[in-house]
Amino acid sequence: MKQRNRSVCRLTSILVVAIGLFSRILLPLGSPTPYGYVFDFYHEGVIKYWVTGRLPVAADCWQCYHPPFFYVLGVPFYAFGSLFPFKFAALRGLSVLPLICGMLIVWLTTKLLHIFQIRGISYLCALGVIVSVPCLFISSYGIEGDILVSLLLVFVLVALVKYFSANSPGNITLSSLIGVFCGGAAATKYNGLIGLATTGMAMGILLVFTLLQPVRAYFGDPRTFRRDQGSKFSLSTPWRCSAARIIRDGIIVLVLAFGLGGWKYVENYKTFKQPMFANGTASQGLSLNLSSLF
């Protein structure tokens, strides 16, 4: 009976994913524009990079103030589409990038469901929500940086969950991946810094709880700390090493993230005297005016 339920669940999952993929393929048929269901012209930055061979700057187009990772990643898709003779072929080729990002988000989210051991009807319901959520569905055919940022942040989330679910924290490979994905998100849009902020808070909380273990052991909690004979607690315990590893991993994340995405913010500060510069009214949302809070 259990085997039959697993087979039914597996077949239903395949059907849900197939419907989601088919519906996304149909999206271009009703699109009002060749660049998808967006009104922020991110494709202009890709075209500028393709034509000039240099990274776009804020003065080149309305959306060109963003960090350039989306433009860099989009050029090969635009170039491939330009090989075909039909109208808007290059833009149609570029639209494959958000479609791939959307499918990868669904796949990674199913990985998270498996990590949390969500199965059966709960898994099917969660999968249905992931496939059908309107924002992700529409963004699967929208040439914009938000879908790429979403993918990179989901990568960060998966790596963080694996990092914290390990038997002992301090995995250099996972911390390096977290740093790379945080840097990629920050190099795509300013809101990609959420990944680095979330990682910092999560590792900070883990570090605090780790450093508090001797205190808990001192007050007699045998579940969290191993005491040495003749002393209240020992500085040479595994918890001390774990704290050092957490600090090391935090430094790895910060160095990699800043190395990959920090240069744009430094350049903005040198040019515009602020790390997050934006064209037009978007600049108001990025300016920190403490007087408006009171």
- pLDDT tens for 226-279 read 444 444 433 333 444 478 888 999 999 999 999 999 999 999 999 888 898 888
- By C-alpha distance, which of 242, 251, 234, 244 is closest to 199? 251
CB 127 within 8 A of CB 113: yes
Structural contact between residues 140 and 98, judged by C-beta atoms closer than 8 angstroms: yes
Looking at residues 3-20, what average pLDDT do you find? Answer: 76
SS3 16: helix
Q: Between 288 and 171, name the one with better pLDDT.
A: 171
Token pair, residue 124, equals 């099917």
**Proportion of the chain in helix, strand, coil states, percent, rounded to 5:** 70, 0, 30
Q: What is the pLDDT of residue 282?
A: 58
Radius of gyration from C-alpha coordinates of the chain: 23
Report how far apart, in Å, the C-alpha atoms of 55 and of each of 44, 49, 79, 198 are: 12, 5, 16, 29
Give me the pLDDT at residue 1, please: 54
**Residue 167 confidence class, pLDDT cut points 50, 70, 90:** low
Determine the average pLDDT of the residues in 16-28.
Answer: 80
Burial of 58 per CB tally in 10 Å (0-12, 13-18, 19+)? middle
Q: How far apart are CA 14 and CA 18, in angstroms?
A: 6
Does pLDDT of 29 surpass 90? no
Confidence of residue 89 (pLDDT cuts 50, 70, 90): confident
CA distance from start to end of the chain: 63
The closest of 34, 42, 38, 22 to 81, measured between CA atoms, is: 34
pLDDT, tens digit, 9 for 90 and up, residues 141-150: 888 899 999 9
Average pLDDT for residues 33-50, to the nearest whole number? 83
Indicate if the pLDDT at residue 123 is higher than 80: yes
More confident residue, 178 or 285: 178
Percent of the chain whose pLDDT exceeds 70: 82
Which segments of the chain are extended strands (E)?
Answer: none
Q: Residues of the chain with pLDDT > 90: what percent?
A: 35
Q: What is the pLDDT of residues 183-207, one digit of tens each?
A: 999 999 999 999 999 999 999 988 8
Q: Interhelix angle for 120-132 vs 2-26, to 10°?
A: 0
pTM equals 0.83
pLDDT at 12: 81
Residue 69: exposure state from Cβ atoms within 10 A (0-12, 13-18, ≥19): buried
Q: What is the mean pLDDT of the chain?
A: 81
Cβ pair 16, 126 in contact under 8 A: no
- Contact indicator for 81, 92 with CB cutoff of 8 Å: yes
Helix axis angle, 145-165 relative to 96-115, nearest 10°? 20
